Amino acid sequence: MKAWLVWFIFFTVPLASAQALGPSSHVTLLVSFTAGGSADTVARTMAPELSSLLNKPVIVNNIAGAGGALGVRKLLTSPANGSTLLFGGVSETLLMPLGNPHVGYKPEDLMAISIVGTTPMVLAVRPDLPTRDLNEFTQVAKAAPMKLSHATSGEGSHAHLMFNALSRQKGFELLHIPYKGSNQILVDLASGQIDAALTNLVAAAPFIEAHRIKPLAISSVERVPNFATVPTLLELGIANPITLWAGLFASKDLDKATAQKINAAMNQMLNNPALRQRLQRLGISVNKAASLDESQRFFADQIRLYREVTSRLNTTE
């Protein structure tokens, strides 16, 4: 399976004043992975600003497990009144339901309120692994099939599929160890409990900067300024970059008027220079504001794209 590059086109829209939502005293913002991971970090960065704009406390609640599916199921079994939302990405909103018909939901059960931004992935190894680059890593892995391990946030997750694609292209095979979130993956990678991981830059950046893990390649189109010594997968002959996106989701049953209020608050938040800078420091390329309809069209396009991708994967394995 070839990797692919997701491009976004968003347009600035007029901002509406935020209003209180539903009967709940607060808004629960679900994160489908463990505390301390990238999704959790971004959600907690946004929560205070979003709370102010929605006129209600926004409380982040981590529901980790099943590659992110537990958090989505929690959203879909909660009242569809805007009091429960999900900060989610490609794995739990698309890949899990498209790859597993028994997961309990379909992508079409979700409504995309706002796509916040994108981040590249980074291939990293434990600090004492005797490899300096992807070629050396490939040689070591080929010499000992299934002796080295790699971790992802779950079977069928974006990182799992992309690592499989990378390993097939380079001709090596590693033992897969699924985790509930990127933070524990990186802790275990730094301590040498696992050998490699393909994870997002937001989570990996502090570990790279502290020299606790060793980055071999990054999936951005161009080298990332803060990590300019790390080559891109494109430079190393991998066909296309791998880019992750994440955003705010609700149940498809949420009424449009409430969804538009939340979308307007998100747009106002994303247009806040200070908030944008905080997200960018985390490694997020922040999108421009987009209307509710534009956000849903983007998500519909992604459903079609990933349905084709998972279909091709299922026919080749």
Q: Report how many domains make up the chain.
A: 2
232 phi and psi, to 5 degrees?
A: -85, 155
- Mean per-residue pLDDT for 76-90? 96
Same domain, 275 and 179: no
Q: How high does pLDDT run on average in the chain?
A: 86
Same domain, 148 and 213: yes
34 phi and psi, to 5 degrees?
A: -70, 160
Is residue 10 situated within a structural domain? no
Same domain, 249 and 104: yes
Is residue 236 situated within a structural domain? no
One-character DSSP codes across 186-221:
HHHHHTTSSSEEEEEHHHHHHHHHTTSSEEEEE-SS
Same domain, 92 and 145: no
- Mean per-residue pLDDT for 187-199? 95
Task: Please tell me the predicted confidence (pLDDT) of residue 262.
Answer: 97
- Residue among 174, 94, 73, 85 nearest 126 (CA): 174
Q: Of 227, 262, 281, which residue constitutes the final position of a domain? A: 227
172: left (phi over 0), alpha (psi -120 to 50) or beta: beta
Q: Indicate whether 256 pLDDT > 70.
A: yes
Is residue 234 situated within a structural domain? no
Q: What is the pLDDT of residues 302-312, one digit of tens each?
A: 999 888 766 65
Q: Indicate whether 225 pLDDT > 90.
A: no
- pTM exceeds 0.85: no
What residue numbers bound the domain in which 83 lies?
27-118+245-316
Same domain, 185 and 207: yes
Give the pair of three-digit tokens for residue 235: 């430079």
Integer Cα distance of 40 and 61 in angstroms: 9
Task: Please tell me the predicted confidence (pLDDT) of residue 16.
Answer: 35
Same domain, 124 and 222: yes
Is residue 299 situated within a structural domain? yes
What percent of the chain stands above pLDDT 70? 88
Is residue 14 situated within a structural domain? no
Same domain, 108 and 134: no
Confidence of residue 11 (pLDDT cuts 50, 70, 90): very low
Is residue 49 situated within a structural domain? yes
Same domain, 110 and 144: no
Is residue 193 situated within a structural domain? yes
Integer Cα distance of 268 and 59 in angstroms: 19
Q: Of 199, 227, 255, which residue constitutes the final position of a domain? A: 227
Which domain CATH number covers 274?
Answer: 3.40.190.150
Same domain, 129 and 104: no
Is residue 7 situated within a structural domain? no
Same domain, 262 and 192: no
Which domain CATH number covers 146?
Answer: 3.40.190.10
Same domain, 180 and 40: no
What percent of the chain stands above pLDDT 90? 57
Name, of 3-12, 275-284, 289-298, the range with top average pLDDT: 289-298
